[in-house]
């Protein structure tokens, strides 16, 4: 059996245009899953990075200085290989740079100027990641700040639609993997790094489970939430129970919202959130599971 589950980020729209891109991403990954688990994960995330709708790659939110700085990571539960890129600028596909780091080096995280330099050495061309829509949102947010007001835009986009980190988990019949990519949050400090490239914080994979998280990264890092999900599954919990426990723990410890997607080595999925939306596409042997829905632990917050 081959399984891919992909999410579009906490509070990201579930409108058809968004769900279609998520489905396309899952299908691109499925084409490669039988031959190369890591390449399949890269393919899923690249589709989302290339779409301006999601907060990753082109169309990422802007930091305080008006720049896009992105984090991405990939982890293979079979080989225990992990690679991450943090606060990278001016590349189209941070996830591909992360995969290259995994395959060409023994180092596991590169950040900032070093990440850009590595990308160029590996032949990734300079690319603009700033969309007009995000630039406009950033200018409005900066004007609010200049007036002494708190910007009213969504933390993760500053736009009328919402978007956060994207991620996927895969099972190819032999093992599990997880991959994730993000622009972080609006007006973040230049150089700020979130949970996406932090193994055990916002992403984890082992022979037992693969997990990706979305929400305010600092909370996921400080609570090692992705690792906690794995520990719950190792101790015998169903993945669904594990993610619900983890989100309740995150809310108790940090008072924050999040979304978590996990899968275990039996191909059982767990997905939950405690916010407005959490779009997830679940693909089994190439077929979208249309009835599948993540559980909202705070249904009173549900948005259309
Ligand atoms: N979850 C995205 C971030 O905080 O960077």
CA distance 143 to 66: 12
Question: Does residue 157 carry a pLDDT above 80?
Answer: no
Give CA–CA dist 95/118, Å, rounded.
13
| Residue 300 pLDDT | 82
pLDDT at 149: 75
Chain segment 185-219, per-residue pLDDT in tens: 888 899 999 999 999 999 999 999 999 999 999 99
Q: Are strands 166-171 and 109-111 parallel, antiparallel or unpaired?
A: unpaired
Catalytic residue list contains 165: yes
Identify the residue whose tokens are 């070093």: 114
Q: How many whole angstroms separate alpha carbon 278 and alpha carbon 84? A: 24
Q: What is the DSSP letter of 64?
A: T
Nearest CA-CA partner of 157 in 141, 168, 145: 141
Residue 196 Cβ inside 6 Å of ligand 1? The answer reads: yes
How confident is the model over 97-124, as a mean pLDDT?
98
Domain boundaries, the chain: 3-296
Ligand 1 atom 4: the closest Cα is on which residue?
217
Distance, CA 258 to ligand 1 centroid (Å)? 10
Rounded to the nearest angstrom, the distance between the alpha carbon of 194 and the centre of ligand 1 is 5
What pLDDT is recorded for position 162? 56
- In this prediction, residue 220 carries a pLDDT of 97
**For range 170-181, the mean pLDDT:** 97
Which atom from ligand 1 is nearest to the alpha carbon of 71? Answer: 5
Q: Which of 12, 157, 165, 182 is catalytic?
A: 165
Rounded distance, CA 61 to CA 144, Å?
16
Report whether residue 151 contacts ligand 1, using a CB cutoff of 6 Å: no
**Range 3-296: architecture per CATH:** 4-Layer Sandwich (3.60)
Say how far apart CA 280 and CA 298 lie, in whole Å.
Answer: 17
Kindly report the pTM of this predicted structure: 0.95
CA atoms lying within 13 Å on the CB side of residue 27: 9
Buried b (16+ CB within 10 A) or exposed e, 119-156: beeeebeeeebbbebbeebbeebbebeeeeeebebbbb
Average pLDDT of the chain to the nearest whole number? 93
pLDDT digits 0-9 by tens, 36-48 = 999 999 999 999 9
- The SS3 assignment for 21 reads helix
């Amino acid at each position: 059996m081959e399984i891919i589950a992909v999410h579009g980020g906490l509070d990201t729209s579930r409108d058809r245009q968004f769900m279609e891109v998520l489905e396309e991403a899952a299908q691109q990954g499925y084409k490669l899953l039988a031959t190369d688990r890591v390449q399949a994960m890269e393919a899923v995330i690249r589709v989302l990075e290339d779409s301006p709708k999601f907060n990753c790659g082109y169309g990422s939110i802007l930091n305080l200085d008006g720049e896009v700085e992105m984090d991405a990571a990939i982890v293979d539960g079979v080989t225990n290989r992990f690679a991450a890129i943090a606060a990278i600028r001016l590349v189209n596909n941070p996830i591909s740079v992360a995969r290259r780091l995994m395959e060409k080096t023994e180092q596991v995280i590169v950040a900032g100027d070093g990440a850009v330099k590595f990308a160029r050495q590996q032949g990734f061309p300079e690319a603009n990641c700033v969309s007009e829509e995000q630039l406009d949102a950033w200018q409005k947010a900066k004007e609010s700040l200049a007036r002494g007001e708190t910007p009213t835009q969504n933390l993760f986009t500053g736009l009328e639609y919402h978007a956060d980190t994207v991620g996927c988990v895969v099972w190819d019949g032999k093992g599990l993997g997880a991959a994730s990519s993000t622009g972080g949050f609006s007006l973040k400090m230049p150089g700020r790094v979130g949970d996406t490239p932090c193994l055990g914080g916002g992403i984890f994979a082992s022979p037992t489970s693969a997990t990706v998280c979305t929400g305010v990264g600092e909370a996921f890092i400080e609570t090692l939430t992705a690792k906690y999900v794995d520990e719950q599954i190792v101790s015998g919990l169903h993945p669904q129970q594990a993610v619900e426990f983890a989100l309740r723990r995150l809310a108790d410890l940090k008072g924050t919202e999040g979304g978590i997607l996990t899968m275990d080595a039996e191909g059982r999925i767990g997905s939950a959130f405690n916010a407005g939306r959490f779009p997830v596409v679940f693909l089994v042997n190439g077929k979208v599971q249309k009835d599948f829905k993540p559980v909202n632990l705070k249904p009173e917050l549900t948005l259309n």
